[in-house]
Amino acid sequence: MTATTFTPRVFSGIQPTNHLQLGNYLGAVKRFVEMQNNGIETVYCIVDLHAITTWQDPADLRHATRELAAGYIASGLDPERSILFNQSQVPGHAQLAWIFNCVARVGWMNRMTQFKDKAGKNAENASLGLYAYPSLMAADILLYKATQVPVGEDQKQHLELTRDIAAKFNHDFKVDFFPMTEPVIEGTATRVMSLRDGSKKMSKSDPSDASRINLTDDADTIAQKFRKARTDAEPLPGTIDGLKDRPEARNLINIYAALAEQPPEAVVAEFAGKGFGAFKPALADLAVARLSPIADEMARLMADPAEIDRILGNGAERANAIAQPILNDIYDIVGMIRSRPV
Ligand code: AQP
């Protein structure tokens, strides 16, 4: 039997919780835009069904969904060239997630480190949705038979689970239906760390706002957050090796490199021997130069929420046109009768 060839297709998504932070931008959105420009079909989602795995105020959720759409577009995502939509407008995501809940094993879910991190000590009280989150994520990806998924490093385990689900489905139903999706985890900013703790990733939901740069922060706030970022007292080294046991310094160098689109080696060479007193203002200036135009454009787009909703609705129509025939095939494979006139 010859292996099926799958049409290349990129899918990824971000949760509309709080504000987009620098890690989301460098690890995800900026790379979504680069992939959009590579000539492959790109499908980008605002995963509002994932967001509600922890409590969201409905008005805040609507606002965060529109703000994330504005963030995507302001960063260069073109809703004509890419498909941009919010997940809940395409019902196939939730429908396929149920099927995958019946394919995935409880033991697989028990190994997911993100659930342990997010549920914390109070796992008994976490929502069932938070526990099943990776199954919905697999559905997001495989509903489009996506072959590539650009993500930050923290999502690697969920991508491995997606492949496990695809392989088990293919095996159980004796089909070669789902592709083995490849995670695309590339660049110098695959894991941007907190500005307050070099051992923790930067996150939208960290209780400390000083731990992250939000895309909505103004220039003064950005400069102040970098000035206060935790570092050691040593000057910057002359080589990358010199950053080995200095997680905070390494993080700031990697952020600079990603924003400047330079290899970290070049940044280290430029600032070798300099103290943070010189490096932090240069980093803040670079961040403001790169991020302020995005923040300004986001504010402009947010002034017209009806237009954002129109873009999302249009994207959902296009996404559904890809998803529905795939979902129909899945229902046929699984043995569901589809006799309702359409
Ligand atoms: N610190 C990071 N460095 C690099 N990439 C990151 N991503 C998140 N944080 C970093 C990438 O951003 C994409 C969207 O993430 P998400 O919103 O779906 O959930 P998350 O990974 O849990 O991101 P946050 O910011 O930590 O959100 P909250 O706090 O709401 O859970 C993913 O590709 C992720 O890898």
Domain identity same for 221 and 321: no
pLDDT at residue 1 is higher than 70: no
Atom 24 in ligand 1: residue holding the nearest Cα: 203
Tokens matching residue 50: 């994932």
Instruction: Give the domain range for residue 227.
Output: 209-300
- Does residue 193 fall inside a structural domain? no
Q: What percent of the chain has pLDDT over 90?
A: 95
Q: What is the pLDDT of residues 77-100, one digit of tens each?
A: 999 999 999 999 999 999 999 999
Best probe residue, ligand 1, of 10, 11, 14, 199 (max atoms within 8 Å of C-beta): 14
Is the pTM higher than 0.85? The answer reads: yes
For residue 60, pLDDT beyond 80: yes
pLDDT (tens digit per residue) in 152-196:
999 999 999 999 999 999 999 999 999 999 999 998 899 999 999
The verdict on 236 and 108 lying in the same domain is no
Tokens 């300099």 — which residue?
Answer: 274
- Shared domain check, 178 and 55: yes
Look over the chain and give the mean of its residue pLDDT values, rounded to a whole number.
96
Instruction: Decide if 318 contacts 83 (C-beta within 8 A).
Output: yes
Q: Is residue 192 part of a domain?
A: no
Amino acid identity of residue 31, one-letter, is R
- Residue 13: φ, ψ to 5°: -155, 165
Q: Is residue 310 part of a domain?
A: yes
Look at the chain and report how many structural domains it folds into. Answer: 2
Does position 2 have pLDDT exceeding 70, yes or no?
no
- Catalytic: 156? no
CATH number of the domain at 309, please. Answer: 3.40.50.620
| Residue 274 among the catalytic residues | no
Active site residue 201: yes
Asked if pLDDT for residue 121 goes beyond 90, the answer is no
Q: Which of 156, 168, 200, 204 is catalytic?
A: 204
